[in-house]
């Protein structure tokens, strides 16, 4: 009798579980159908579609994007894709070349650059790129502002890559002789001997690039500069990706800015631009070297910015690339527009 009672209970629980799963699936299916219907309604709503379309097209043709690329973060590969797409997608790509590769502009040039970029309608839409620090257009009297994007890399990886780049060059211009050509000292040996080329202070570059043109930005180890860099990253950049996840960075950009980056993901996957500029003869540092570098406050601050950017990028891409469980493609549209 007891066994029959247990069997009855198990059967009842099984039936309840099946019913719950059924209704959960039905709810999910209805929600998906609702979103599809919502999208179809937005497409069939003439006044909403026309209003949105005209506004979007006008803004797209005035689009200006600035990529203030940090050296040795994969920027050449990314820019190569932009140059390949610019003719097909009908936009301009312009390289910002500053005297002696300076990363900070004089005050007069800051003003001239800001006015020029926002008013040069003949080249719009446009992507500007160059090794320059973030420039805040809010204080330069421009009516419109460009959209900023960037890539950031693990600070020690970037330093090691640059160390060997100065000695061995890369596969982008393999015959160009770099200024440290012939120096065979490894990065491990350099750190062991405390040489200036591998000094952790040399990592202080991504923080000032995001911090900007203030003097304090370029004082190695400035906590104010680190906080300002974080502030700018969140408040002034449309997207900051990480070198290690270049493909996702490009995919998010294509979704967010199709006017410039339509077809970028497919092009990246099917072309040779994914590894356009690799440092030659680069040796990975030993664990002992890594531990010594990580004792530096400069590394800790640069790494804090990197981890901050990585976490923010993961949050953004989950929403765009639908990496979350039960996520659906998000849309928005306008309705009840009055007066007609």
Distance CA 242, CA 155 (A): 11
Contact predicate 123/94, CB 8 Å: yes
Q: Which of 62, 39, 59 is nearest to 51 (CA)?
A: 59
Contact predicate 155/302, CB 8 Å: yes
Token pair for 140: 């330069």
Contact predicate 190/163, CB 8 Å: yes
SS3 category, 186: coil
Token pair for 103: 């990363």
Radius of gyration of the chain (CA): 26
Contact predicate 150/240, CB 8 Å: yes
Q: Where in the sequence numbering do the catalytic residues fall?
A: 129, 131
> Rounded to 5 degrees, what are φ and ψ at 136?
-85, 110
Helices of type H across 120-196: 155-168, 187-192
Contact predicate 64/125, CB 8 Å: yes
SS3 category, 223: helix
Residue written as token pair 């179809």: 40
Contact predicate 51/337, CB 8 Å: yes
């Amino acid at each position: 009798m007891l066994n029959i009672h247990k069997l009855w209970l198990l059967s009842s629980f099984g039936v309840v579980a099946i019913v719950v799963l059924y209704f959960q699936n039905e709810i999910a299916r209805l929600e998906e159908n609702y979103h599809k219907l919502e999208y179809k309604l937005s497409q069939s709503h003439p006044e909403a579609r026309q209003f949105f379309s005209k506004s979007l097209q006008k803004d797209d043709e005035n689009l200006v994007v600035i990529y203030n690329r940090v050296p040795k973060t994969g920027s050449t590969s990314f820019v190569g894709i932009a140059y390949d797409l610019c003719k097909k997608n009908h936009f301009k790509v312009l390289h910002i070349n500053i005297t002696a590769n300076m990363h900070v502009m004089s005050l007069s040039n800051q003003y001239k650059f800001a006015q020029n970029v926002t008013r040069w309608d003949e080249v719009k839409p446009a992507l500007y790129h160059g090794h320059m620090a973030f420039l805040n257009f809010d204080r330069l009297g421009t009516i419109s502002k460009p959209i900023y994007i960037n890539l950031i890399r693990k600070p020690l990886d970037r330093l090691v890559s640059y160390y060997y780049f100065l000695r061995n060059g890369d596969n982008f211009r393999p015959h160009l002789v770099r200024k440290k050509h012939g120096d065979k000292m490894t990065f491990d040996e350099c750190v062991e001997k405390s040489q200036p080329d591998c000094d952790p202070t040399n990592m202080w570059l991504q923080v000032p690039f995001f911090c900007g043109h203030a003097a304090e930005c370029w004082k190695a180890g400035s906590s104010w500069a680190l906080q300002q860099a974080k502030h700018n990253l969140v408040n002034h950049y449309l997207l900051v990706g990480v070198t290690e996840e270049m493909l996702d960075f490009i995919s998010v950009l294509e979704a967010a800015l199709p006017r410039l980056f339509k077809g970028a993901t497919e092009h990246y996957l099917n072309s040779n631009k994914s590894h356009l500029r690799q440092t030659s003869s680069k040796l990975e540092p030993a664990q002992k070297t890594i531990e010594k570098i990580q004792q530096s406050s400069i590394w800790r601050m640069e790494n804090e910015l990197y981890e901050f950017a990585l976490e923010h990028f993961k949050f953004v891409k989950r929403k765009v690339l639908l990496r979350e469980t039960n996520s659906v493609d998000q849309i928005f549209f306008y309705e009840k527009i009055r007066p007609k």
